[in-house]
Structure formats: structure tokens, C-alpha cells
Structure 1
């Protein structure tokens, strides 16, 4: 299934990385059953992905990374997900986190982290279930902390963890994050990822007890940066004020888009050679209602991609012009991601319904896609009901219910969409 992005939107390097991802698809598809059964990605697969340069998409060039555009990151990762959902999810999470870390941390911290020979890979959890943290000389002491879900934890070198738990954030009315970099050697991975979906993503819970984190590895992140933009920022630094919106795009939707694309391609490939049991039809491809469903599913996936592209276009325009976002624009960007996820899920669900009884086999590729995209679409940043409620509330001048958008409304000095958009 062809991507909608034009080649001219990607650099030569980005096209090469996209080609690397495409070349990996058949290889990754062979590991689908093994990954699900063993609940992790084999090390040889991780090495293949690393050799293809696909863990360095979001890493700055000065540290040996590729520093691709946000658009290229979405396209490349979606291609990986066509090969396997769990691998796509882990590649997405690690690159998104590396990008977030590079925009959030000081140069001193980045030099220390990325200056080592080992390839740096961040897993993350952006909300603590429990965090008992004390400010001490030179940094913070995490007496006790528990985070879930740490996607890619078994393949990460570091964790990027929010030291604020939900209760403390609500009580203080500070919905920003205090992100801390913790080496995985200091983290206990709790083997509790027993799921129906994205089984190999190793999205285990993470636990910390009595760990000191130096001050330079802790950074406060909030949405106020988007409303007071320093115009002197240049190059990559221009993206720093928008890091939370960038996280909305780079964490979740890429793998979902790739899974949906893969489902359409797989169904189209198999349809000419598959009949419909208990009917006279010997080829699904020749049946009118199947043709309709394939056309509709493909349009849903392509429409999802258009929403993602719109969000990236809006973000890039604001970054290049050093413009603040209105509350409506923030809500629209977040809703674009959740609505795109819904369209992708609906497309796969439609194809699943036309695939006969054999599709329920765990080893069936469409069954794997169905399970993985269902779980991915339930991620906090891609849940359609949350996004659509958010957009509807803001359009009707009501205060947003979404934490990040609510914090941004507060930074504008407004609690209603109508007022914020008129300021």
C-alpha cells in the first residue's frame, strides 16, 4: 500500500532509512509467532534493527544519530510495524524517547549520555503509579517508585521516568512532568507483561528503590513553553518549546499506521486465492462486497495518514515561525492522532470480519495485527474517545478534560477554549 508522502519531503538519508525499514519487513514477519510466544523480541532481531540504523532516528547528529524529521520518523517506523507490531512499537518508543530526551536535557547531560560508545536507547513512562521522591544535595533520592508500562524495557539502556505521580500532580494542580534519566542498571524490570496485544514489546512495570539521581539528569517539562517562545532559538533548538506536542505525534501513532497499512496489503495479497466458505465464491477478490470493504478500509488508512500529515504540517509551521499554539490548535493536534488511530483500527476490524474462521489462529498474520492494533489504539495518547471528547469540549468553549491540554489552557490564563482562542 503506497504511502501518501511525496519523495521530495524526505532527504536522501531519510529515504535510505525508509528503504532499510522496507527491506526488514519480510524478515520481521517470520518472527511474529516467536515474538508473541516468548513475549520479547529476540536479540538477533534487535541487532538487525540496530544495524539498519533504526534506533537512531531521533538521536542528534552530533552524537552519531540521524536526526530525521518528524514526518520521516512516522514513515520509517510505520514501515517497521508492517513487519511486526511489537518491533514497530519498540522502535517507535525508543526513537520518540531519544528525541524527547535530546530536546529536554542540558548539553552537559546529553554529552555524558550520548558520548558513550554504547547505542543509547530510552524506554519511558510518563506517569508514575507511585513515586516517593526527596530533594537532596546535588539531586533527588527516589526512595520508592513504580511505573507501568515501560515499553521496550528489555532492550533499553536508560529509562526516562516522570517523578510526579498522578495524585501529586492533581493535588498541586501542576500537570507538567519532572523527567528523570535513570540507567537500566538501577531499575528492576517487573515481569508482568502478560497481554493479548503487543506481547513482545516488553512493556513491563519498572521499579526503583533508594536510587539517587543527579540534578543534571532531571528536567521539568510543562506546556508553558509553548506560550512564551524565545524567537532567538535556531536549528533543532526551535523544537524545544513544543516537545510535549511532539511526543503526542512520535509516541503511538506510527506503529498503528503501519499495522493498518500491513493489514490492507496482506488482505489484498491473499484475497484472489481465498474463497468464501459455504458459497459459490472461489475468490474473495471477485466479490462485490469484499471489493467495497477493501476500498473503504484503504480509504480509512489513507485518511488517517492525512490527519497525521496535517498535524505535522501545523507543528512544523508553528516551529519555523516561532508561533504559539491556540488552545483549539493544541486540541486539534491531539485529536488528529486519536482519530487517526480510530480509523486505522476500524479498517483492520473490517478486514478481520471478512477473513473467515481461520483468521482466529494465533499464527495468522492478520490476527496478530488485529491484536496489536487493538492494544496500541488503547494507549493514552491514541484513545479516540478521549481525543474526540477533548475536541468537542474545546469547540463548545468548555474547559478541556485532557491533562496536557488543561495545563496549556492554564498557561494561557484561561480555562475555556473560546476565551483562549480569542486571546
Structure 2
């Protein structure tokens, strides 16, 4: 599948990491059923991914990471997803969280975390289901906290958790992010799903835990209010700091969704020449006109999705370089591009699945796993098409946004 020139924009180091991901694809495919049956990634695969450097994509260079571009992260995750959706989901979540942690935490805190000998991997949940939290002297006391969908929790060393639930988010329009070692968190083994079974997206619970103030970050609108001139002076990794929320949108889900769609089409094109169509005279699906049409249309949907993803990255990069505020439409367009790309990818997988015959529903058929995994990925809050398209429609109508990320980005938007 062509990458529409995106790889040409990667550095030599990023291209090598992309090749490392490509080399893992056959291995990931071999482990597909075991990953689903175990409901987490086997440790031997975790070690292979680690040895390939793929858990350090979002880790700053000063801490031994690769600090790749957002474009490179999406391309590498997409490549892993050609092999297995759960693996790609976990790797993208950990890297996105490592990157996000490096943006929001102070240097002393980061030094204390990343100086540890073990490889640091963050899982995260950006809104609590339940949160009873008290501000106390020197920090925060969590009487009770429950967080859902902690993807990669079984493979993480730390969690980045929002100490606010939905009510708290509505009242503050910002997050209270806490860094917590996994040793202080109870993983509730409740991830029994039809999709992304191996992502270990279990619920997380804490009771009567004290977190020092230095390990908690208050993300409020005030942090970047009136920051137009400030944006132009930021350098290095700091220039990403004001855009942490929109970067979360780009690094949560879409890379894996794109790769799953690519993998589905690749599998169908490879097997169709050797498959007939039951109760017809056709001995090869590849020779049938309407299937040729569907394959062409599915390929264009996937390539169009990639173009929308690239546009969203370029939109962000251009504003980061110039330091100019977004228009409300430009900012909403990034979120909508991601959600629409997810919809195009799921449409493409639906099409090839529909032409694959009854055998496609077997658990042993790779398309069955891809079909289930992409549906779960596309249902994530940051890639749900209906939410993104509603946002864009509201902006075009001149109505206020309904999406929390756009609402909280007000300081980055021009009137």
C-alpha cells in the first residue's frame, strides 16, 4: 500500500524504526489468536517490541528515547497494525502517553521517573468514572478513584490519570493529571470484549492514595491564555506543549485504525485470486468485476483517509512553526479529519468483509479479527465520526463547539 509520500518526510532514524515495525509484522500475525485468547500481549512479544525501540518513540531524546515526529509515530503504528491491532493500540497509547507526560510534567519529576533502569511506559485515562479527591497539604488525597479503559495497563510502569470525573470536567474545562506508579493502582481484570481483546484496556482503581503535588498537573485554560506571542518563542519539544490535547487526538487511535484497514485490504487482495464464490461459476474472486470495483473503492477510501490524516498533521505543524492562532474552523478540522479518516477506514474494511464470504466470520480468519478490532478502535471517543462531523457542522453553522478539546482550546483560537 503506497504511503502517499509520507515516508519521504521521515528522518533516517524514523525510517529505520518504521522498518523495525515492518520486520515485526509476520511475527505479530502469528501471535494473533494467542493475543486475543490471553487478552494481553505475551511477554516475549513485549520484549521484541522493546528491543526494536518501539516503546520509546514518544520518549524524549534526553531520556534515551527517539522523540519521533507525530507523522512518524502514526506511520510506525500503522505498520504495526498491519500485523495486529491490539499490539498497535498498546504501542500507540504508551508512546502517546510518554510524549504527553514529557509535555506536562516538570523537569525534576521527569528526571526522577526516567532515571529508573526499567523502560518507562505510561498508560492513561483522561477522565475518571468516579473521583473522590481532596486537596491536602503537599498534594492530593484520593479517597476513591475508578478509571475505565486503561489500555496497555498490564504492560505499563506508570499511569497518567485525570483526577476529575465528568462533573469535574464540566465545572473546570480542564484536567487534573496525576502521575501514579502502577504499584499503587489496582488493575481490575474486566476487559472482556469483542474488539482489541489483547489491549488490556482494564479498569483502574485507587483507594486512599496520597499523591505529592509535584506529580499532579493542573491543565486549565489559564495556562495558555493570551499566549499568541509566547507560542512564537517556544523551541524544541516545548513548542508542542500548548497543543497537548490536539496531539492526544492525533496519537490515540488513528494510526492503528489506518493500519488495520491496510492489513484487511492487503489480505483480501492476496487471497482473492485463490478463492471462488460459492454457488457460482466463478473460480477466482479477483476476476469478478464488482469485486474489482469494491477493491478499488476500498483502496481509495484508505488512501483518502491517509490524506486527511496528513492534512491534520500539516495543519498542526504549520501553526506550531508560525506561532499563529488557529481559526475555530482550522482547529475543528484537525479533529474532524481524524474522525472522518476513521470512518473511511471502517467503511473499507466493511466492504472487503462483505465480499469475503461465510468463511470470514471464523475466529481463525484474519479478517474476522481485523473487522472486530477496527470497529472497537473507531468507537473510541477521539475517533467517533458522528462526534467529529457534528463538531465541524456546528462550526460551519457558526454555533459554539460541543467537543471538550475544542472548547478548552479557546486560548489558541483567534476571534
Q: Answer yes or no: same fold by TM over 0.5.
A: yes
Q: Using a 3 Å threshold, how does the CA distance of structure 1 residues 359 and 227 change in structure 2: closer, same or farther?
A: farther
The answer to whether 1:242 aligns with 2:243 is yes
Q: Using a 3 Å threshold, how does the CA distance of structure 1 residues 38 and 307 change in structure 2: closer, same or farther?
A: same
1:218-255: CA deviations, max 9, x gaps?
A: 11224552762413211111111111111110111010
* Contact 1:226 1:325 (C-alpha < 8 Å) held by counterparts: no
Cα deviation, residue 6, structure 1: 4.1
Q: Distance in 2 between matches of 1:106 and 1:327?
A: 30
Where do residues 88-107 of structure 1 align in structure 2 (5 Å cutoff)?
88-107=88-107
* Contact 2:154 2:200 (C-alpha < 8 Å) held by counterparts: yes
Q: Distance in 2 between matches of 1:106 and 1:395?
A: 38
Q: Distance in 1 between matches of 2:174 and 2:90?
A: 25
Aligned to 1:211: 209
Instruction: Provide TM-score, normalisation by structure 2.
Output: 0.97
Aligned to 1:73: 73
Q: Distance in 2 between matches of 1:121 and 1:337?
A: 25
Structure 1: 5+ residue runs without aligned partners?
Answer: 413-419
* Corresponding residue pairs, total: 412
Where do residues 397-412 of structure 1 align in structure 2 (5 Å cutoff)?
397-409=398-410, 411=411
* Contact 1:226 1:241 (C-alpha < 8 Å) held by counterparts: no
* Contact 1:226 1:324 (C-alpha < 8 Å) held by counterparts: no
Give the SS at the match of 1:128.
coil
Where do residues 214-363 of structure 1 align in structure 2 (5 Å cutoff)?
214-222=212-220, 225=224, 228-229=227-228, 230=230, 231-363=232-364
Cα deviation, residue 325, structure 1: 1.6
Runs (4 or more) in structure 1 with deviation over 4 Å come to none
Q: Distance in 2 between matches of 1:57 and 1:89?
A: 14
Cα deviation, residue 400, structure 1: 1.1
Q: Distance in 2 between matches of 1:194 and 1:157?
A: 22
Cα deviation, residue 8, structure 1: 2.9
Q: Distance in 2 between matches of 1:127 and 1:96?
A: 16
Cα deviation, residue 168, structure 1: 2.0
Cα deviation, residue 169, structure 1: 2.1
Instruction: Provide TM-score, normalisation by structure 1.
Output: 0.95
Aligned to 2:183: 185
* Contact 2:189 2:203 (C-alpha < 8 Å) held by counterparts: yes
1:195-226: CA deviations, max 9, x gaps?
A: 00000000000000111111111112245527
Aligned to 2:26: 26
1:342-392: CA deviations, max 9, x gaps?
A: 000000000000000000001110110000000000000000000000100
Structure 2: 5+ residue runs without aligned partners?
Answer: none
Give the SS at the match of 2:45.
helix
Aligned to 1:140: 140
Aligned to 2:11: 11
* Contact 1:284 1:290 (C-alpha < 8 Å) held by counterparts: yes
